[in-house]
Amino acid sequence: MGDLLGVAVLGAGHMGADHIRRLDRVVSGARVVSVADPETDRAAQAAAGIDGVLVHAEPAAAFDAPGVEAVLIASPGPAHEEALLAAFARGLPVLCEKPLVPDSAGALRVVEAEARLGRRLAQVGFMRRYDAEYVRLKSLLDGGRLGRVLMLHCTHRNVSSPPDFTTAMLIDSSVSHEIDAARWLLEQELTAVTVLRPRPSSNAPDGMLDPQFVLFETSGGALVDVEIFVNSGFGYQVRCEAVCERGSARIGDEHTMVVTTAGAACEEVAQDYLVRFAGAYDREVQAWVDATRLGRVTGPSAWDGYASSAVAEAGVRAQRSGERETVDLAPRPELYGGTGVRTNAPRTHT
């Protein structure tokens, strides 16, 4: 490869535009070569000021632009399967924002296509694995000082939900992060899910059942609960507490500036995931660029993306049925470590 990794970015919305900025201004070793978005004006605006960038309406044109050596997919989830398979056909390494593919059947097709290649090309954008606090918690749990993990208590709150957000998306869009984080932290699969619903908040749009309480069972006998509240109205908060045999550890408490004035103290609360996880996104993309330049793929795999989609589907079923729903996973291909209950922790594949 040349001195800089040439990257095609698919999608120039909120996430895609931030990745374009990141590749151009923050990450070393890469350059944005082409951008594809059906709204070409939006793509051009996101790429403004970057020399030599080609703007396209179609992903295929962005893939085939001169100098493209890798692809970052930040388009809507339903477009991911086609884009991933097209990248595989060209032998292009991919960083794909979650979800890998929204439905588990499509995600499994991607897994099977990559397995037929016999080598990994895809990394899935579960950025919490790159957050400094999550990394410290993972290291602590792996070290065994606190003993076996018994429970994970998770909180996931947003200020408000986008106009097109649905009740199902509380699970398959928002809680999908906790699904992957739990699999990674515990190195266990999630085997069953139950969803409980309090009376909806008055802040929730009509017809949306928000907030919800999601309870996961794991293959190792632990329990994982998630409070998901996407219209909290006050801030973006993500917390996780691991309760273990010999102690507990909690991350996500905001250690930000506290302003005291007029007899009151006010602590800043992040309003957006791009603020709360800015450092995680930077480290994730830098790690992807570094590995790709060496001909390697690291981080969350296509199998992790498939497992997350399968668990999320069970969660949506539990939303609708009000019953405990089990998770059924296909056999894991050898490319991702074969079958078994241990999740595919970040590792390097050449």
Cα(304)–Cα(23) distance, integer angstroms: 24
Question: What is the residue type of 330?
Answer: A
Q: Are residues 84 and 189 in the same domain?
A: no
Residue 342: inside a domain, yes or no?
Answer: no
Q: Are residues 57 and 110 in the same domain?
A: yes
> For 78, how many CA atoms within 13 A lie in the half-sphere containing its CB?
0
Residue 238 is part of which domain span? 146-273+309-326
Q: What pLDDT sits at residue 346? A: 33
Residue 136: inside a domain, yes or no?
Answer: no
Q: What pLDDT sits at residue 255? A: 66
Q: Which two tokens stand for residue 294?
A: 């060496």
| CATH number (domain holding residue 318) | 3.30.360.10
In angstroms, how far apart are the furthest CA atoms of the chain? Answer: 65
Cα(60)–Cα(278) distance, integer angstroms: 29
Q: What pLDDT sits at residue 343? A: 32
Q: Are residues 266 and 290 in the same domain?
A: no
Cα(157)–Cα(50) distance, integer angstroms: 35
Q: Are residues 106 and 152 in the same domain?
A: no
Q: What pLDDT sits at residue 293? A: 96
Phi, psi for 130 (deg, rounded to 5): -110, 0
Question: What is the residue type of 165?
Answer: F
Residue 285: inside a domain, yes or no?
Answer: yes
Q: Are residues 254 and 290 in the same domain?
A: no
Cα(129)–Cα(131) distance, integer angstroms: 6
Q: pLDDT 10s per residue in the chain (350 long)? A: 458 999 999 999 999 999 999 999 999 999 999 999 999 999 999 999 999 999 999 999 999 999 999 999 999 999 999 999 999 999 999 999 999 999 999 999 999 999 999 999 999 999 999 999 999 999 999 999 999 999 999 999 999 999 999 999 999 999 999 999 999 999 999 999 999 999 999 999 999 999 999 999 999 999 999 999 999 999 899 999 999 999 999 999 876 767 777 888 887 787 777 788 899 999 999 999 999 999 999 999 999 999 999 999 999 999 999 999 999 999 999 999 975 333 333 323 32
Of the candidates 316, 312, 304, the residue with the CA atom closest to the CA atom of residue 120? 304
Of the candidates 77, 74, 71, the residue with the CA atom closest to the CA atom of residue 89? 71
Q: What pLDDT sits at residue 191? A: 98
If you search the block for the tokens 């991350």, which residue do you land on?
251
Q: What pLDDT sits at residue 270? A: 77
Q: Are residues 167 and 297 in the same domain?
A: no
Residue 283: inside a domain, yes or no?
Answer: yes
Q: What pLDDT sits at residue 349? A: 31
DSSP per residue, 5-50: EEEEEE--SHHHHHHHHHHHHT-SSEEEEEEE-SSHHHHHHHTTT-
- Output the pTM of the full model: 0.91
The set of residues, in sequence order, having a beta carbon less than 8 Å from that of 268 and lying 6+ positions away, is: 254, 256, 257, 258, 259
Q: Are residues 314 and 227 in the same domain?
A: yes
DSSP bridge partners of 239: 155
| CATH number (domain holding residue 61) | 3.40.50.720
- Number of structural domains in the chain: 2
Q: Are residues 202 and 320 in the same domain?
A: yes
Q: Are residues 51 and 157 in the same domain?
A: no
Q: Give the three-state DSSP class for 264.
A: strand
Residue 133: inside a domain, yes or no?
Answer: no
Q: Are residues 317 and 206 in the same domain?
A: yes
Q: Are residues 173 and 317 in the same domain?
A: yes
Q: Are residues 267 and 316 in the same domain?
A: yes
State the first-to-last Cα distance of the chain, in angstroms, to the nearest integer.
16
Cα(299)–Cα(232) distance, integer angstroms: 31
Residue 331: inside a domain, yes or no?
Answer: no
Q: Which two tokens stand for residue 164?
A: 């097109």
Residue 340: inside a domain, yes or no?
Answer: no
Secondary element (H or E) of residue 95: strand 94-97
Q: What is the CA radius of gyration of the chain?
A: 20
Residue 118: inside a domain, yes or no?
Answer: yes
